[in-house]
Amino acid sequence: MPKRAKILITGGAGFIGSHVMRRFIKTDKYHIVNLDKLTYAGNLENLKDIEDSSNYEFIKGDICDFEFVKGLFTRNNFYGVIHLAAESHVDRSISNPIEFIQTNVVGTMSLLNAAKNSWNQSANHRFYHVSTDEVYGSLGDEGFFSETTPYDPKSPYSASKASSDHFVRAYGNTYGLPHVISNSSNNYGPNQFPEKLIPLMIHNIKNRKPLPIYGKGYNIRDWLYVEDHARAIELIFEQGGNGETYNVGGFNEWKNIDLIHLLCDIMDKKLGNEQGTSRKLITLVKDRAGHDMRYAIDASKLNSELGWKPSLQFAEGLEKTVDWYFENEKWLNDVTSGDYQKYYEEYYTNR
């Protein structure tokens, strides 16, 4: 790899992207170009502390614009790509699947094509696709997703991510494009948009609003602190094998209802409420269509090959997350003003 290699990170203004960006910029090993369309989920406030770094540039643009992406690759001699830009919320994919095909499939194709043409079969490059464990479908009470679990996506979001994973591997197989893929479980932490479970509940508890739990709250997710994911991404980008896949997970399964109980208790303590106050806001609502029951990741390959393991206990990570949302009230107020109210009413009122 060349010194201060130029890498393209897509979706760097989003939740996970901003943590990846910060990590990579601080190492000072790379020159980073952040390509982001700044959709509702992209926020340059997430990058305020690093925006003046000399090894960083931001470009506002759409990964689906083939000509623009091609031009970007022609003007820059990218050593690698870390592709995170996506439509990422399952509920939105249920009401608007087309947008997910466009961004997640067509957008990924546009990047793959530009990389293929620009790198011209040279092995000294790397296309890294950051993907999700949802491509594997849904688990019953037993077992874990491993890298060899057959794909069985069940929502428009996961089908679009599965499709883009397949295209990445197809470009590797057909055109020799050097690539690596990781499939991660549910992330949580600072800067997550309050449409996802944990920040949505933090926002609602703060505002004494109902806490909408889908179905009975028995669905299970495997939670991973976002900075641990960013550390895994750095390791995989630098040391992962060509053509390999790595699962990333928290070894941390929680039933939604138990997680929300824990969150309510943490927040009651911080708000000086009597214990049990916030739990009273819990409201069981109509289930998500096709709701996957359980995700659980076997991340032993990443552990044994690259030495990665999550660093935080869940209660500690959750407390850090709650503290961040308390300390960044302006961030939360800004992202929940304007169109957010419309979103909230559409998805939750009379659900």
Catalytically active residues, by annotation: 133-134, 157
Residue 5 contact partner, candidates ligand DAU, ligand NAD, none, CB within 5 to 8 A by sort of partner: none
Distances (CA, A) of 145 to 133, 249, 277, 293: 8, 10, 37, 13
Helices 197-206 and 314-327 cross at an angle (nearest 10°) of 50
Quick one: which of 37, 92, 125, 196 contacts ligand DAU (CB under 6 A)? 196
**13 touching ligand NAD, by CB under 6 A:** yes
252-311 residues in contact with ligand DAU (CB under 6 A) are: 256, 288, 295
Q: Taking CB under 6 A as the rule, which mask of x and - marks residues 149-188 in contact with ligand DAU?
A: ------------------------------------xx--
**249 touching ligand NAD, by CB under 6 A:** no
Q: Is 207 exposed, middle or buried (0-12, 13-18, 19+ CB in 10 A)?
A: exposed
**Rounded to a whole number, what is the distance in angstroms from the first to the last CA of the chain?**
52
Residue 214 contact partner, candidates ligand NAD, ligand DAU, none, CB within 5 to 8 A by sort of partner: ligand DAU
Which of the 8 DSSP states describes residue 101? I
**292 touching ligand NAD, by CB under 6 A:** no
**336 touching ligand NAD, by CB under 6 A:** no
Q: Which residue has the tokens 């703060």?
A: 206
Rounded to whole angstroms, how far apart are CA atoms 193 and 350? 22
**86 touching ligand NAD, by CB under 6 A:** yes
Which among 15-23, 249-257, 282-290, 335-343 is the span making contact with ligand NAD, rule CB under 6 A?
A: 15-23
CA 125 to chain centre: 23
Which amino acid, 147?
E
Can you give the binding site for ligand DAU, defined by CB under 6 A?
Answer: 88-90, 132-134, 185-186, 196-197, 200, 212-214, 219, 221, 256, 288, 295
